[in-house]
Amino acid sequence: MADVSDRSNRFLRALARQPVDATPVWIMRQAGRYLPEYRATRERAGSFLALAQTPELACEVTLQPVERFELDAAILFSDILTVPDAMGLGLHFVEGEGPKFQHPVRSAADIVRLGVPDPEASLRYVMDAVRLCRRELRGRVPLIGFGGSPWTLACYMIEGEGSHDFARVKAFALNEPDAMHKLLDINAHAVAAYLAAQAAAGAQALMVFDSWGGMLAPAMFEEFSARYLTRIATLLRNDTHARDVPLILFSKGANANLEVLADSGCAALGVDWTITLDAARRRVGERVALQGNLDPATLLASPEVIRREVRRVKRDFGPHSGHVFNLGHGITPDVDPEHVAVLVDTVHAA
């Protein structure tokens, strides 16, 4: 059974929609503040950015959750905003306020000055972390590399920080579509190069987080988000190292656009919890695997409720190949780690 079933390949087999002995599971933000060992390393690092930019510490927190739980994949500890930071926008974190850029993009002239960073130069610390994680994981579970979607990066680059409604970036896209397309094109090439370098450094799956694609009406989603996700998928298919590395796309809140996303050339789609996996499967057919989709708030309920809701998600997906269990969004800091163990055990149980 070892070749179809153990923890080292369950995740990759499910992404390829091949049979597995148990549904694989990993958790978005599994290396995070709900873990006391993460909080200890984070304190030692001094800041979130120092943690992300020191390969030894990033590797340490990447491995913590797979050592504590029977998770089927590790995901590199990093941040999607490393790429615009490498473009010179000056990423910094304000305690309690989230990420900010010192030099946001405010005009077409600002966009002309942007270039595609060389990942092995200005993002070397990420590639070193990937190499270190692969070494330390010793083949126990696959390592996922990741980046942000061109649209989501543009949201932060133009707003300069997070936003309630991203009205400024939407107005920019509507009023200056040509400039926006230039920016998205640069972002797509930068993210594709970044992901390809992670694959070359050892990442065994790649994921693109389109955290803010769901803020767009369908016509704008196709024009400003999906088009550039497809471009990344195409660029990666033509890359020596990334060609055979499965790509997962996750556009949170963009469930109206699942068909478009499934046509992008990716291997799998992340799905948030506001649609059943049954409904999602009917929409995308056999084109892609699905990853998701338990409401993260479920982990605040009792173990009994967690078991029931995990079984509901598995039942929703049904007896098909190609399910990677995950939450529909990142795990929150107030979750009891024991509850994560309950989740993982229930996912693996028949």
CB of 295 to its own copies, least distance (A): 5
Least distance from its own copies to the Cβ atom of residue 27, Å: 16
Neighbours of 349 (CB within 10 A): 12
Which of 92, 217, 286, 318 touches its own copies (CB under 8 A)? 217
> Which of 22, 49, 108, 297 is in the footprint of its own copies by CB under 8 A?
297
Q: Are 87 and 98 in contact (CB under 8 A)?
A: no
Question: Could you tell me the smallest distance in angstroms from the CB atom of residue 123 to its own copies?
Answer: 30
Residue span binding its own copies (CB under 8 A) among the ranges 29-37, 54-62, 170-178, 318-326? 170-178
Bridge partners (DSSP) listed for residue 75: 144
Told to judge if 29 belongs to the known catalytic residues of this protein, a careful annotator would answer yes
Identify residues 41-60 at the interface with its own copies (CB under 8 A). Answer: none
Draw the binding track, 251-270, toward its own copies (x: CB under 8 A; -: no contact).
--xxxx--------------
**The only residue of 34, 77, 151, 166 in contact with its own copies, by rule CB under 8 A:** 166
Give the one residue of 275, 337, 345, 348 binding its own copies; rule: CB under 8 A.
275
Q: List, in order, residues 6 or more apart from 88 with CB less than 8 Å away.
A: 103, 114
Task: State which residue, 66 or 271, has the beta carbon closest to its own copies.
Answer: 271
- Rounded to a whole number of angstroms, the minimum distance from the CB of residue 125 to its own copies is 30
Residue 4 sits in the site that holds its own copies (CB under 8 A): no
Sort 345 into a burial class: Cβ within 10 Å, 0-12 / 13-18 / 19+.
middle
Known catalytic membership, residue 34 = no
Question: Hey, which residues between 331 and 350 contact its own copies (CB under 8 A)?
Answer: 332, 334
Q: Which of 25, 57, 192, 216 binds its own copies (CB under 8 A)?
A: 216
Closest distance to its own copies from the beta carbon of 174 (Å): 4
Catalytic, 312? Answer: no
Angstrom distance (rounded) from CA 293 to CA 283: 16
**Residue closer to its own copies (CB basis): 128 or 309:** 309
Instruction: Identify whether the C-beta of residue 45 lies closer than 8 Å to the C-beta of residue 88.
Output: no
Chain center to CA of 274: 18
State in angstroms the smallest separation of the CB of 301 from its own copies: 4
Q: Which of residues 61-80 bind its own copies (CB under 8 A)?
A: none
Q: Are 168 and 215 in contact (CB under 8 A)?
A: no
For residue 79, indicate whether it is catalytic: yes
State in angstroms the smallest separation of the CB of 256 from its own copies: 4
Q: How many Cβ atoms from other residues are within 10 Å of residue 168's Cβ? A: 15
Q: Is 98 in the site for its own copies (CB under 8 A)?
A: no
Is residue 223 near its own copies by the rule CB under 8 A? no
The reply on whether position 178 binds its own copies by CB under 8 A is no
One-letter amino acid for residue 102 of the chain: Q
* Residue 279: alpha-carbon gap to chain centroid: 22
Q: Which residues are catalytic?
A: 29, 33, 42, 79, 156
Residues that bind its own copies (CB under 8 A): 165-168, 170-171, 174-175, 214-220, 253-256, 273-276, 279, 293, 295-298, 300-302, 305, 309, 312, 328, 332, 334
